[in-house]
Structure formats: C-alpha cells, structure tokens
Amino acid sequence: MRLPSPRGPLGERVLTVLRGEVREVGDPGAAVIEVPDQRACDDDALTLWVLHELHYRGFEDVSEEWEWAPALMGVRWLLEHELEERLRVRYADARVPVADEVTRSLATLTATHEGPSLARHLQRNASREQALALLRQRSLYHLKEGDPTSWVIPRLTTRPKAALLEVQFDEYGDGDPARLHHEMFARGLETSGLCSAYGHYVDEALVPVLEQNNAVSMFGLHRRLRGAALGHLAAFESTSAVPSRQLAQGLTRLGFPPEMIAYYDEHVEADAVHEQVVVRDVCGALVQEEPGQHEEVVFGAWTCLDLEARTATAMLARWDAA
C-alpha cells in the first residue's frame, strides 16, 4: 500500500514528512509538523488513519523508521485526544444506563440501541452498485479485522486473556491461513471484481468509516483504553450474526460469487458463539477483576454501535435510501 491522497493541509504536511528521511532528535534537519488552527474533519480522520497504519502494515513509500518517530507522536496524540473527546461527549449525551453487572449492561445496550441498517437495505433493496460500494467501504476494516483487538492481549490478566485468545484464534482461521477472516474477505473481493489489496479503497472512505477504524485502533493501542477495546468487540460480536445473515442473503439475491457470500455465512455462526465468550468470559472477567473498567466497557460498546449507525446514515443518505 502507498500513501493515500491528503484531504487537507494537515495531511499534506504529515504525508510530506513521511516521504522524507527520519532524523534523530536534536538534528537541525529533524521534522517539525505544525498543526493548522483550522482543520476539516475529513483531513483529521484520514491523517490519523495514516498514522495508525504505521503500526500495522505500513506504506511502500514510507520508511519503517517513522513508526515511533517523535515528530509524529505529538500530532497523533492531538488527533486521538480530540477523537476520544468527541466520542466521550456523544456517549455522555446519550445517557447510557449502566447496570449492576457488565453482562446486563451490554445486553441492554445492544438490545435497545437504534439506528438504520445497511444489512437490511442490502438484503431487500440495494443495487449491485450499492453492494460494491459497501464492500469497498468495509474493506478498510475487514482486511485487518481481528488485528486491532490483538493489541489488547498482553494487557490482560489470565482469565480474560485466555477467553480473548479463544475468539482471536477463530478470527485467525484456527491456524489455517485460508480460513483467516481477513483472507476470506480478500478472496470475496477478488471474485466480486474488486481489488483485495490492503487499504486500496481508502481514498473513497467516508469520514464515519475512517472514524470507525481510528476508534478501534486507538482503543487497541492504548493500555488505558483496554476496557473500551473489549466493549467495542463485545458490541460488534453481539450485533453481527443477524446482519451477516442479511448481507449473505442480499449478496445472494444480487448474484455475488460464493466466496463473498461465504465470508458472511462464516460470521453468522461464529459471531453467535463469540458473543457469549466475549460478553461473559472476556468483559465479565475483566470487570470482575477490575470493577473500574465497567463503564469503560460500556463506553466502548456504545461507541461501536454509534459509529456503525453514523456510517449507515451517511451511506443511505448518499444513496437517498434512508
């Protein structure tokens, strides 16, 4: 993957620096990135996505030495701080109820959260062009899928760690490279006539899609956000089985190849099992050992559902299908 096109002055400055040489701290030629006072949300979202991707597979036109370069840390910290603040303000405004037990909190949240459904639209009404557009947007996440959550593993104690590894082992195909979920999605893209290269469609990614990816990466990369990361995973797994069935039915209706449909069929069964493990054995065990993480888990779960709803709203508005 090569660097995407910037969406504003901040992105232009960061991408220009990334194409250059890494200099040591104190070197007169070391990069200094000035953050503009006025910035657009799409500029911020894409720039943070680029900075996070340095911790995943990187970019062909960027030196690997940039991953932890001090010149980037201040910019990343600022963008993450502002993103987290926006998410927490939305969460506070939503007045999400927190029950005595985290399992009940998550069950209530996932059962009552409302929002438009892209899966239902694809199942019943979407055109093939709309389905292809959705797959391109989804590719930013599904071509990494379990990777952001894997950052959390070393930050957990025995019980939640063991349970999370059970889920992640399944996400990574139970040791079979052909069964890795992101590899299955890549095959589905290829057989559907789309590009399966990692990050290929970032230039057309909507802001809510970029923020979805940025939030889950931010949660995984910060130890203090481990509860939010696991709550995010719990909400994702708890609300994935039914939409996956709807997506599989919609893709079948539109004549998509079996490889693409198989990806969603896999998640109908797998996520129904993962839901119980993540809610009870991962989040439940975490909060039992660290009661202060209860509301963080709920915050992460609500953020997952809220960003999904915002993505659906944006795409349906684009299609005038709300």
| Residue among 133, 141, 121, 137 at smallest CA distance from 247 | 121
Residues 183-209: tens digit of each pLDDT = 999 999 999 999 999 999 999 999 999
Placement of tokens 């960061």 in the chain? 14
Query: How far apart (Å, rounded) are the C-alpha atoms in residues 200 and 194?
Result: 10
Residues 275-308: tens digit of each pLDDT = 889 999 999 999 999 999 999 999 999 999 999 9
- As a dihedral over the C-alpha atoms of residue 77, residue 82, residue 85, residue 89, rounded to 10 degrees, the angle is -170
Provide the token pair at 95.
Answer: 């007045």
In CATH, the architecture of 98-319 is Up-down Bundle (1.20)
Given pLDDT bands bounded at 50, 70 and 90, which one contains residue 28?
low
Give yes or no for residue 322 having a pLDDT over 60.
no
Give the pTM: 0.95
Given pLDDT bands bounded at 50, 70 and 90, which one contains residue 272?
confident
Give yes or no for residue 181 having a pLDDT over 70.
yes
Given pLDDT bands bounded at 50, 70 and 90, which one contains residue 268?
confident
**Which residue type, as a one-letter code, is found at position 125?**
N
Q: Average pLDDT, whole number, for the chain?
A: 94
Report pLDDT for 259.
97
Given pLDDT bands bounded at 50, 70 and 90, which one contains residue 105?
very high
Overall average pLDDT of the 43-53 stretch: 98
| Residue among 19, 98, 146, 55 at smallest CA distance from 292 | 98
Give the rounded percent of residues in the chain with a pLDDT score beyond 90.
87
Domain edges within the chain: 9-87, 98-319
Query: How far apart (Å, rounded) are the C-alpha atoms in residues 270 and 240?
Result: 9
